[in-house]
């Protein structure tokens, strides 16, 4: 299969799966539901979550229906991408392992970009309101709060975002992504992640 087609399909699948992860996080941090960005995420994820929500009750602050759809879509995306790019089909255990690493990688990437955009917005337009910045604050605060306890602002400059980004990149580098697809003989293994 064409490398460009696999890239396009993988990117679209990752964006859609990322929307489900954002929905899960926004519900967990109790972000403003009336925010236009929240409304957008809810509307594009509702077709798959709403029917399942009738059968699966939430677990505390975690929306079980959204979590199940997120895991199911990740497994489906893993099966599709490995079947298009790899010569040897993966076994069930390997699909679950790759899907798990893909989910962890997605979480780390979402937080990497969210913190980066949050930091840039804090330098460009501090103290102003826009719908994206309020949601970013809600999303990144649980990650930045522990870093701020260890590294308080120095001379009024908050370096917590910088150290969080370094930590996220460190965790990303620790993921054994290459070993997860070992033995599959994939044409472009980086396209799977």
Question: What pLDDT sits at residue 182?
Answer: 64
- What is the rounded average pLDDT of the residues 3-10? 85
Q: Is the pLDDT of residue 162 over 80?
A: yes
Contact 69, 48 (CB under 8 A): yes
pLDDT at 176: 80
pLDDT at position 185: 60
pLDDT tens, 66-112? Answer: 999 999 999 999 888 888 877 777 778 888 888 898 899 999 999 99
Distance CA 53, CA 114 (A): 27
**189 pLDDT higher than 70:** no
In this prediction, residues 13-35 reach a mean pLDDT of 90
Bigger pLDDT: 158 vs 43: 43
Where do runs of H (alpha helix) occur along the chain? 3-28, 36-53, 64-85, 92-124, 131-150, 160-174, 177-180
Give the pLDDT confidence of 105-156 residue by residue, as tens digits: 999 999 999 999 988 888 887 777 777 888 888 899 999 999 989 988 888 7
Average pLDDT of span 52-73? 88
CA atoms within 13 A on the CB side of 16: 19
Round the average pLDDT of the chain to a whole number and report it.
Answer: 85
pLDDT score recorded for residue 16: 95
Q: What is the pLDDT of residue 106?
A: 93
pLDDT of residue 116: 93
Dist. CA 90–CA 4, nearest whole Å: 22
């Amino acid at each position: 299969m064409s490398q460009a087609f696999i890239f396009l399909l993988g990117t679209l699948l990752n964006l859609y799966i990322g929307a489900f992860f954002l929905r899960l996080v926004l519900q967990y941090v109790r972000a403003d539901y009336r925010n236009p960005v929240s409304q957008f995420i809810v509307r594009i994820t509702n077709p798959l979550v709403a029917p399942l929500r009738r059968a699966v009750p939430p677990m505390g602050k975690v929306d079980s229906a959204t979590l199940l759809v997120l895991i199911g879509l990740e497994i489906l995306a893993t099966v599709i991408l490995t079947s298009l790019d790899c010569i040897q089909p993966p076994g069930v255990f390997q699909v679950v392992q790759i899907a798990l690493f893909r989910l962890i990688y997605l979480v780390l990437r979402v937080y990497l970009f969210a913190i980066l955009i949050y930091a840039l917005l804090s330098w460009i337009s501090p103290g102003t309101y826009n719908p994206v910045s309020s949601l970013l604050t809600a999303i990144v605060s649980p990650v930045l709060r522990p870093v701020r306890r260890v590294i308080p602002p120095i001379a009024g400059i908050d370096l917590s975002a910088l150290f969080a980004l370094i930590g996220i990149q460190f965790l990303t580098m620790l993921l054994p992504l290459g070993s997860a697809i070992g033995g599959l003989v994939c044409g472009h293994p980086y396209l799977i992640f």
